Amino acid sequence: MFAYFVRRLIYMVTTLVFISFIGFFIINLPPGSFIDVYKAQREAQGTSTAEAELEALQRRYGLDKPIYVQYWLWVKGFVQGDFGRSFQYNREVKDLIWERLGYTAAIATCTLVFIWIVAIPLGIYSATHQYKVGDNVATVMGMAGLSIPDFMLALVLMVVAQRVFGFSVGGLFSREYVDAPWSFAKLVDLLKHIWVPVLVVGTAGTAGLMRIMRGNLLDILNMQYVQAARARGLRESTVIVKHAVRNALHPLIMLLGMSLPTIISGSLVVSIVLGLPTTGPLYFSALRQQDMFLAGTFLMFLAGMLVLGNFLADILLAVVDPRIRYE
Amino acid sequence: MSDDVILKVNDLHTYFFTESGQIRALSGVDFTLQRGEVLGIVGESGCGKSVTAQCIMNMVPNPGRIMGGSINYYRRANGQVEEIDIINQHPRGRVMRSLRGNDIAMIFQEPMTSLDPVYTVGSQLLEAITLHQDVTKVEAREVAIDALAKVHLPEPHRIIDSYPHQLSGGQRQRVMIAIALSCNPSLLIADEPTTALDVTTQAQILDLMQELQEATGMSIIFITHDLGVVAEMCDSVAVMYLGKVVEKTDVDSAFYDPKHPYTRALLRSIPRMDEQKNSRLAVIKGNVPDPSVVPLGCPFHPRCPEYMPGICNQVVPSMIELENDRAVRCLLYDKNQVQTPQPVAA
């Protein structure tokens, strides 16, 4: 078990190193450096940039040096918590991200919890009542949830909330609370708004996860050990929960690991439509503006979460399945 | 009817309602099992052997349904015999659950997949014991280790805490037998228990089952397509073809004086030691027909070497009682048909 743990840890670190390497390379692919973009922007605004400022930037990031030196400077700063500077906002990347990370994580965590709480029981019900009315209803709802685009559902919900219930659901706060300090009233206001993105992003996720759970469980229910458990005289509920569901969880654990990056990225399109202060739109504009340190930091964070998610899933799988544990 | 009957299956019909139509897996299975008898059910794949076992356990998988007939189990308790009408019990009900694993136990074809991979052997063995016996945890573990020792597993103290993937196929089948026998069932259903094992292990498992049967006096329904296994294990044989029992006989007559053309054909298809080197092995021509399109008349007539045109493809044969408790479902033995070969309106 310990050897397994260490091996996974080594895989994880190696993967991250490779991702940072490729990520940095890709960000540097477009012609010109961000200095040119920065200069052009300043000129378009009518202000000229002092040569001294540009030189200071060049020195800080070693832009006149070969690319591997630039990479090294970037990585060195990264592990020390210096993610570089955003040229678009003219602020430290660190501050920009921290500002939005809290809300993003809050929304995404709520969504994940919502998806799992709704989808797993529905999937189990669907599988144990295959082709009965309940299963068919769940299947139709699932297909609908899967095929209606996020942004469409978001728009419809906004319109309905506004027209029928008369409250605004765009953003995360009502106007009067946006800059207000934290208070109980602000929290209530947040809860009034957060259900929309949770529901919108959660619908598609629930539908997908429910279908996966149903499929897995149907496969497992045909296994001989489920029949054998039944033949021992166990209650049907014990057979389902203890023997079938437990074995159907493996692919879902892997899936949970893969969905970890969404906790920091959030759902891009929904965030834009609903005007949410999450990291998704920030990442999007960073990519468009060639704001390389902001984009690079995001890329690393997303990759890091994915790799960490896989690592945690591997560990969890070993806990759940003795065949992996005793490998 | 004698007191000694443990199980009586009568005119059992089980159909599967699939999207491509109704499949008659069982269309009138009859047999009676005496207490302590070892009955072999033989037949080709798809003839309904396993479905019969599932019916007795009242565990027919979806989309199958028992459509008619009866299965009566005679439970002996406190000197009394209680009759239980199995197919009228709810499959998930209390009565069925108290029978399964306790009175009627079952072992399966694939020992590699009949143990849940994420629980230890002991945990699955204890499930059965604590469910049906009134014992404490410590006592239950004793019973479990004892059960593992009875099936000659080495170091039962170690095996009880190991996971299924750490055991070989033969060991797993021994564990399955230990689980099945842990509550001293009166009837054991063995659904091709040695099919997935290599020949040496097969012989060991058969020896073990024979030894345990003699020690406990339980009845066994031994489902197999291996006639060699039948010869070694069974007292009597029921030959099945397309959802019906076509011949029911004692084991010696089955081999030395088979009546039904299908039984004879099955016997001819066994390779023999004394056969000529260059002779070809006899086969039964054709395949088992698709159960959704059963031939008219006798279902075996398209493959039967003794096919009587105008009779066998018209008349559905019924079970004909012969001497010594034997019975055969073949028109060759039907006095009415052979003497007056007139087609009867079906």
Tens of pLDDT, residue by residue over A315-327, are 898 888 888 887 6
Which chain A residues are closer than 8 Å to B115 by Cβ?
Answer: 225, 228
pLDDT band at B1 (very low <50, low <70, confident <90, very high): very low
Nearest residue on chain A to B162, alpha-carbon basis:
A322
H or E element: which one contains B55? helix B49-56
Which chain B residues are closer than 8 Å to A326 by Cβ?
Answer: 163, 165-166
Which chain A residues are closer than 8 Å to B119 by Cβ?
Answer: 243
Which chain B residues are closer than 8 Å to A131 by Cβ?
Answer: 63
Taking CB atoms and an 8 Å limit, are A225 and B116 in contact across chains? yes
Question: 3-state class of B155 per DSSP?
Answer: coil
- Asked if the C-beta of B114 comes within 8 angstroms of chain A's C-beta atoms, the answer is yes
Tell me: the pLDDT tens digits for A285-300? 888 877 778 888 888 8
Note the pLDDT of residue B124: 94
> How many beta carbons lie within 10 A of that of residue A289, not counting itself?
18
Note the pLDDT of residue B39: 95
What residues of chain B, 5 to 24, have a C-beta less than 8 Å from chain A?
A: none
Note the pLDDT of residue B8: 94
- Report the DSSP pairing between strands B327-328 and B320-321: antiparallel
DSSP B297: S
Taking CB atoms and an 8 Å limit, are A230 and B100 in contact across chains? yes
Note the pLDDT of residue B346: 45
Strand arrangement of the beta sheet that strand B80-85 belongs to:
B21-34, B5-18, B64-77, B80-85
| Residue among B254, B255, B267 nearest B328 (CA) | B254
Residue A190 Cα to chain centre, angstroms: 20
pLDDT band at B339 (very low <50, low <70, confident <90, very high): low
Strands (E), A107-187: none
Cα separations (Å) of B304 from A48, A309, B2, B4?
101, 63, 36, 36
Strand arrangement of the beta sheet that strand B104-107 belongs to:
B104-107, B187-191, B219-224, B38-42, B236-241, B244-250, B327-328, B320-321
CB B63 within 8 A of CB B16: yes
- Asked if the C-beta of B252 comes within 8 angstroms of chain A's C-beta atoms, the answer is no
Instruction: Give CATH 1.10.3720.10 domain extents, chain A.
Output: 98-321
Distance CA B42, CA B223 (A): 6
- CB-nearest to A225 from B98, B114, B166 is B114
Which chain A residues are closer than 8 Å to B120 by Cβ?
Answer: 322
Note the pLDDT of residue B247: 93
Query: What are the structural domain ranges in chain B?
Result: 1-103+187-272+281-297, 114-184
Q: Which fold has domain A98-321?
A: MetI-like fold (1.10.3720)
Nearest residue on chain B to A222, alpha-carbon basis:
B61
Tell me: the pLDDT tens digits for A30-73? 766 667 777 777 777 777 667 777 787 777 777 777 888 888 88
Length of chain A: 327
Pick from A54-58, A105-109, B54-58, B118-122: least confident: A54-58
Best to test chain B binding among A1, A226, A232, A327 (most B CBs inside 10 Å): A232
Which DSSP string corresponds to A185-226?
HHHHHHHHHHHHHHHHHHHHHHHHHHHHHHHHHHHHHTSHHH
Tell me: the pLDDT tens digits for A201-230? 888 888 889 999 999 999 999 999 999 999
What residues of chain A, 187 to 226, have a C-beta less than 8 Å from chain B?
A: 222-225
Distance CA A236, CA A221 (A): 11
> Is-cis flag, bond preceding B63, omega within 30?
yes
Taking CB atoms and an 8 Å limit, are A225 and B115 in contact across chains? yes
| Residue among B239, B248, B219 nearest B37 (CA) | B219
What single letter denotes the amino acid at residue A96?
L
Which chain B residues are closer than 8 Å to A236 by Cβ?
Answer: 92
Taking CB atoms and an 8 Å limit, are A326 and B163 in contact across chains? yes
- CB-nearest to A233 from B63, B101, B114 is B101
DSSP B302: G
- Asked if the C-beta of B126 comes within 8 angstroms of chain A's C-beta atoms, the answer is no
- How many angstroms away from the CA of A252 is the closest CA of chain B? 16
Pick from A90-104, A112-126, B166-180: least confident: A90-104
- Asked if the C-beta of B99 comes within 8 angstroms of chain A's C-beta atoms, the answer is yes
What single letter denotes the amino acid at residue A143?
M
pLDDT band at B208 (very low <50, low <70, confident <90, very high): very high
Residue A40: both structure tokens together: 């052009």
Which DSSP string corresponds to B233-292?
H-SEEEEEETTEEEEEEEHHHHHHS--SHHHHHHHHTS--TTS-TTPPPP--SS-PPPTT
Tell me: the pLDDT tens digits for B147-203? 999 999 999 999 999 999 999 999 999 999 999 999 899 999 999 998 888 888 889
- Asked if the C-beta of A241 comes within 8 angstroms of chain B's C-beta atoms, the answer is no
- Asked if the C-beta of A237 comes within 8 angstroms of chain B's C-beta atoms, the answer is no
CB B244 within 8 A of CB B28: yes
**What is the C-alpha end-to-end distance of chain A, expressed in Å?**
8
**What is the C-alpha end-to-end distance of chain B, expressed in Å?**
32
| Residue among A284, A120, A266 nearest A194 (CA) | A266
pLDDT band at B70 (very low <50, low <70, confident <90, very high): very high
Cα separations (Å) of A150 from A283, B252, B314?
19, 72, 64
Taking CB atoms and an 8 Å limit, are B132 and A243 in contact across chains? no
Distance CA B55, CA B88 (A): 11
- Asked if the C-beta of B224 comes within 8 angstroms of chain A's C-beta atoms, the answer is no
Note the pLDDT of residue B3: 59
- Report the DSSP pairing between strands B5-18 and B64-77: antiparallel
Distance CA B73, CA B31 (A): 12
Mean pLDDT for chain B?
A: 88
Tell me: the pLDDT tens digits for B255-302? 999 999 999 988 888 887 776 777 778 888 887 787 777 888 888 988
Residue A82: both structure tokens together: 């210096």
Is this complex's ipTM strictly greater than 0.95?
Answer: no
- Asked if the C-beta of B173 comes within 8 angstroms of chain A's C-beta atoms, the answer is no
Note the pLDDT of residue B240: 93
Cα separations (Å) of A23 from A16, A17, A285?
10, 10, 17
- CB-nearest to A322 from B61, B97, B118 is B118
Mean pLDDT of B30-46: 91
Tell me: the pLDDT tens digits for A120-167? 999 999 999 988 899 999 989 888 888 888 888 888 888 888 888 777
Taking CB atoms and an 8 Å limit, are B165 and A323 in contact across chains? yes
- Asked if the C-beta of B105 comes within 8 angstroms of chain A's C-beta atoms, the answer is yes
Taking CB atoms and an 8 Å limit, are B115 and A228 in contact across chains? yes
Tell me: the pLDDT tens digits for A5-32? 898 899 999 999 998 888 888 777 776 6
Question: Phi and psi for B278 in degrees, rounded to 5?
Answer: -95, 0
H or E element: which one contains A265? helix A262-265
CATH number at B1-103+187-272+281-297: 3.40.50.300
Residue B168: both structure tokens together: 């070989």
Length of chain B: 346
Mean pLDDT of B216-243: 92
Cα separations (Å) of B197 from B114, B168, B173, B174, B227?
13, 10, 9, 12, 16
Residue A70 CB contacts under 8 Å (≥ 6 apart), including other chains:
A24, A28, A61, A62, A63
